[in-house]
Amino acid sequence: MSTTTGWLFDLYARGGAMVLWFAAEDGERLRLTDPFEPRVFLGGPAEDVEACLRELGRRGDAAPEGWTERTDFWTGRPRPAASIRVLRAENWTRALSRHAERFPRVAWYNADLPPEQCYCYERDVYPLMSCRVEHEAGRLLSLTPEDDRWAVDYATPPLRTVELEGEGSLLGGRPRLRSLTLSHEGRTMTWDEPEEMLGGLQRALGELDPDVILTSGGDSFLFPVLFALAERTKFPFCPDRDPPTRPREVKTDGRSFFSYGRILYQAPEYALLGRWHLDRKNSFMLSHDGMEGLFEVARLARLPVQRIARRSIGTGISSIQLGMAWREGILVPWKKTAPEAWKSARQLLQSDRGGLVYAPETGVHENVVELDFVAMYPNIMSRFNVSPETVNCPCCRNARVPEIGYTICERRAGLVSRALRPIIEKRVQYKALRAEAARAGDERAHARYHARQDALKWMLVCCFGYLGYRNARFGRIEAHEAVSAWSREIILRTREICEARGWHMLHANVDCVWIVKPGFRDEEIATLSEEIAAGTDLPIALEGIYKWLAFLPSRQVPDRPVPTRYFGAFRDGTIKYRGIECRRSDYPAYIKAAQLVLLEQAAGAADAAGLRAMVPDLLRRVAEWERQLREGEAPMEELVIRQSLSRDPGDYTGHGAQSLAARQAAQAGLNLHAGETLSYILTSAGDHDRSRRVRLARLADADTRPDPGAYIRLLRRAANTVLWPAGVTLDETDPPPRRKTTCARKEHSPTTGHRAGQMDLFEQAGP
Amino acid sequence: MPRRASSAVLGGLARAFLHERELYCVDGANVFDPYAFGQAARMRGLSGEHILDRVFVTRAFTIHQLQAVVEEMLPPRGGEADGPVVAMLGLDHLFREETLRAAERGRVLAEVMKRLRGLERTGTRLLVTYERPPPRERFWKPMLEFGAVRGTVRAGTAKGEFIIEGHGNGTDSSYIQHLPAGGDRLLETLPPGTAGGAEDSLRPPVHEGTTPLGRGGERGPPDSIRRDADGDPP
Ligand SMILES: [Zn+2]
């Protein structure tokens, strides 16, 4: 028997056991097995359950363990359930569907959880847990944790990471790879000949024995191409540490799915065994919060790193809730979520609303205070006990939810509420640690705590969406509505408190308020915040005090205020902006950078008058960028417009730039899907031949020229946003793309609309 | 089902139930729109308030929820003799979900239709709307067999008791509606593409402040992190 200390690195089910990989402190990588059969429960009419149990046993899918008692999720009452052990975890999904169809009256609980999750819940372990293991002949004998999932200061294993890049294409259904590069600690190996690639890579992997293979596009492109190449050349390619028991299915087509109303494209998955393949392009977590964020979520959610890397963040919060239910003996129904209770059209109108928004007073305001509720929705769920099973529970009657009068259970603390509390608290701790690191000038610690708190923020944010999300296990529309109703009530109460103290509310948007008060003293803000926190039972924090802040009107209807379109400068000179061009993903980098420069310069102004005084300077800059655009000096890659496809390319019909580019992609045979990004350049915006108006970035060649006029219009549009508070508007309609030009300049007041005036831009702003 | 067309169906339903009768909608496509009812009410010179308390809805977001509604919540109010009418809106929608296993959705659809037939036999008045499914998909058979009236229809009763209007966008999405008493209530069938005016007639221009239901406009999906503009500016 030997003892090893280290971290649980990876786990997966194989043949009635879990395979566990440990990253030992001394650098060794240890593969151990632990016999494990996931437990599932059955309920419903006893005779159906008994018949189903017999069938499960007869087919060898599961071993019955007998009847027991567990807690019903919806009522909180005990209910009898038959327990079974799944014998062949790899085949369970199939078997489950078959049995569920054959015995439709049987209710299944915890039935569709991946075995790795069940193992972690049951053994109380989690990926990246630091622990001591005793083992013999490759078998795990005991595992002693030396870690706490809720700890904020934990060590992570030092990992050997390689970066794999490949150049080639998937065009025309025949995958091609021109070159393959593996980098490790500053050294690179490149293979250019297809016959060398697989052998070279396999050898390098054997020698380096990396823990992590990092790619950008490994799931959608590189690994499918490598596997296809291996198939073609009959090369036994195996990037895993532990060879798979059956050959991989090579897929190049993923699927598109909706998430928060935006289509995302999910590439196929190439997760490895005993080694991680992490694809930056197929990982929200990794691309947003790096390895630190990924580790934090994997630990909390008890999900294998490669899985959480590829799943939406909602999977993480779901898994935390599932783990909690699992350990408390609460039965989690499979596929059965409660339908919505009847409500009248009147009730629907009252309840089916989002957060409260007070339209902003458009214009430039000075000395504006912004107060934000801290994690408002998660805090409402946690503090007011909002959870699917606590809203309109069968046991209580209290009409506690404001406006819509739903009941909240007084007897039980809800699962979602309880799951959220420690996450909220942990995030507060990380933010404090981050601030401490900033004070101490410790950049690495600052980055670490920032990534971890950010990962938790995403979990908290998406928890509210999941309450209303149709496929969420712990979703329920009434709980979703209850949270929104409370949020509206809280903003109403906040407004009353502010006004009672002499403040005027300029704008409120769901969980933030912008207020002003002539000649206020800074100390008043702390008092006000405390009063609001006491009056609403929710924490609120000062986001900052703006020197000046511009609430912009709608672009389409100039006198209509819109909630999230503003920019302003805080007292310390930092700028904050929402809903303007430089935050939009479909604006080219060049234009966004230009707008940002203008904003940064504007942030130097002390007040609205200072901002107006800056106009000639700002216009001078715009003129210089226009010259660059006209003379072709702007780098082409910064002019690329990237738009996410909302449909498959072939389904576009209009004549807008995006439609034209999408059709170009379809015609070129590019295998793009809804949710993937389309990159193109505006080449000849007004051309009668529509196919010449845009050019796909991937088809661009030496003859591709951006259309200066089109980009100047975009530039002016972005500039006009910054110039708006100063009452200046550049003509966006049709600047002729010639060298010497005059352009219209309109003057208007931010509140009274436009007054036209012509002037020569160069005369005004020239050097 | 497309929102534009569905609002016409809803408007038609509203007109039919402006009197004392109650209407229960099972919404499988997230298309229920209280404004459509309010506007239809206004056209008849009634207040939107009148109808708001007479129309009920439950929204299903998975086929299993839909099945639970049909099995556990219908008929509403225990199936009394002159009970309310039940409208199944966009019955097909959830069954089109691609990730569902074929055997599973087939079984659930069959069970839902069986239950609906049972309800109809015991006197529940049912109205079903769905988009025309692709031809030759055997899967939809139980639903198609249930439908009594097919095609793009404008239907109602001669006696004016019950009027349904509905149409697709004239090309690819006609509606099939199962009317309570069958085809004899069909007044006329409109050729594709001519139905546009009907919807407009149901949607008079909205002026702020005049809508009995408050602010007009389309509703978004409830599960998004939508931030509504409601409440008056300060
Ligand atoms: Zn209760």
What percent of chain A is modeled with pLDDT above 70? 91
Residue of A nearest to B38 (CA): A345
The better pLDDT of the pair A255, A709 is held by A709
State the nearest Cα–Cα gap between A561 and chain B, in angstroms.
10
Query: Does some domain include residue A550?
Result: yes
Asked if residue A371 and residue A248 are part of one domain, the reply reads no
Please name which of A201, A229, A235, A234 lies closest in space to residue A215, comparing C-alpha atoms. A201
Distances from the Cα of A397 to the Cαs of A343, A401, A483, B77, in angstroms? 17, 11, 18, 21
Least CB–CB distance from B62: residue in A342, A470, A504: A470
How far, in Å, from the CA of A478 to the mean position of ligand 1? 15
Query: Residue B186 has which token pair?
Result: 């069909």
Q: A266 and A195 in one domain? A: yes
Q: How remote is the CA of residue A76 from the centroid of ligand 1, in Å? A: 9
Say which CATH number the domain at A288 has. 3.30.420
Average pLDDT score over residue span A617-644: 93
Residue A91 belongs to domain with CATH number: 3.30.70
Confidence (pLDDT) at A469: 64
Mark which of A551, A578, A605 sits at the end of a domain.
A578
Contact B60 A339 (CB under 8 A): yes
> Residue A442: pLDDT above 90?
yes
pLDDT band at A734 (very low <50, low <70, confident <90, very high): low
Q: Where is the domain boundary, A552, A578, A604?
A: A578
* The pair of three-digit structure tokens given for residue A494, joined into one six-digit string: 């906040």
Query: Looking at residues A312-336, what average pLDDT do you find?
Result: 89
Q: For residues A712 and A716, what is the distance between their CA atoms, to the nearest angstrom? A: 6
For residue range A489-546, what is the model confidence (pLDDT) as tens digits?
999 999 999 999 999 999 998 899 999 999 999 999 999 999 999 999 999 999 999 9
A434 in a structural domain: no
Q: Check which CATH number belongs to the domain holding A572 and give it.
A: 3.90.1600.10
The range of the structural domain enclosing residue A233 comes to 161-311
- For residue A757, pLDDT over 70 is answered with no
| pLDDT above 90 for A177 | no
Do A476 and A363 share a domain, yes or no?
Answer: yes
A538 and A667 part of one domain? no
Of A99-113, A197-211, A680-694, A705-719, the range with the lowest mean pLDDT is A680-694
Q: Do A470 and B69 touch (CB under 8 A)?
A: no
Chain B contacts of A471, Cβ < 8 Å? Answer: 61-62
Rounded to an integer, the average pLDDT of A313-333 is: 91
pLDDT by residue (tens digit) across A573-584? 999 999 999 888
Higher pLDDT, A691 or A11: A11
C-alpha to C-alpha distance for B95 and B106, rounded to whole angstroms: 9
**How far apart, in whole angstroms, are the C-alpha atoms of residue A509 and residue A500?**
20
Tell whether domain B3-201 is in CATH 3.90.79.10: no
The structural domain count of chain A equals 4
**Residue whose pair of structure tokens reads 């005016």 in the numeric block:** B197
Q: Indicate if the pLDDT at residue A263 is higher than 90.
A: no
Same domain, A387 and A480: yes
Residue A758 has pLDDT above 50, yes or no: no
Q: How confident is the model at residue B1 (pLDDT cuts 50, 70, 90)?
A: very low
Residue A268 located in a structural domain: yes
pLDDT tens-digit series, residues B165-201:
333 332 222 334 444 433 333 332 322 222 222 222 2
In a 10 Å sphere around its CB, with 0-12 CB exposed, 13-18 middle and 19+ buried, how is residue A345 labelled? Answer: buried
State the average pLDDT for chain A: 88
Instruction: Report pLDDT for A23.
Output: 97
A444 within domain boundaries: no
User: H or E element: which one contains A379?
Assistant: helix A376-383
Query: How many beta-carbon contacts under 8 Å exist across A and B?
Result: 128
Residue B147 has what pLDDT?
53
**Interchain contact B188–A (C-beta under 8 A):** no
Smallest Cα distance from B59 to chain A, Å: 6
Longest Cα separation, chain A: 91
- What pLDDT, on a 0 to 100 scale, did the predictor assign at position B8? 56
Q: In chain A, positions 668-727, which contact chain B (CB-CB < 8 Å)?
A: none
Partner B, chain A 123-142, Cβ-Cβ below 8 Å: none
Cis status, amide bond into A45, omega within 30 of 0: no
Among A311, A329, A357, the domain boundary falls at: A311
Residue B128: predicted pLDDT: 77
User: A421: Cβ–Cβ under 8 A, 6 or more apart, which residues?
Assistant: A382
Query: Is residue A465 included in any domain, yes or no?
Result: no
Element (H, E) at A184: strand A176-184
Statement to judge: residues A602 and A718 lie in one domain = yes
Domain identity same for A544 and A598: no
Q: What is the mean pLDDT of residues A434-463?
A: 94
Is the pLDDT at A704 greater than 70? The verdict is yes
Helix locations, A215-368, DSSP H: 223-233, 284-301, 305-310, 313-327, 345-351
The predicted-structure confidence for A586-615, as pLDDT tens digits, reads as follows: 899 999 999 999 999 999 999 999 999 999
Extents of the domains making up chain B: 3-201
Task: Indicate whether A304 and A368 sit together in one domain.
Answer: no
The answer to whether residues A597 and A570 belong to one domain is: no
Among A208-212, A264-268, A385-389, A661-665, which stretch is predicted with the lowest mean pLDDT? A264-268
Higher pLDDT, A543 or A744: A543
- What's the ipTM? 0.70
Q: Are residues A622 and A752 in the same domain?
A: yes
Is residue A657 a part of any domain in this protein?
A: yes
Cβ-proximal residues to A470 (8 Å cutoff; 6+ apart), any chain:
B61, B62, B65, B223
Q: What is the pLDDT of residue B80?
A: 64
Identify whether residues A711 and A620 lie together within a single domain: yes
Q: Is residue A31 part of a domain?
A: no
- Residue B101: closest C-alpha in chain A: A97
For A141-155, the pLDDT digits (tens) are: 999 999 999 999 999
| Span B123-152, average pLDDT | 67
Which residues in chain A touch residue B225, judged by CB atoms under 8 angstroms apart?
260, 354, 461, 464-465
CA of A485 to the centre of ligand 1 (A): 19
Examine the domain organization and report whether A247 and A361 are in the same domain. Answer: no
Can you give the three-state secondary structure of A313-347, one letter per residue? HHHHHHHHHHHHHHHCCEECECCCCCCCCCEEHHH
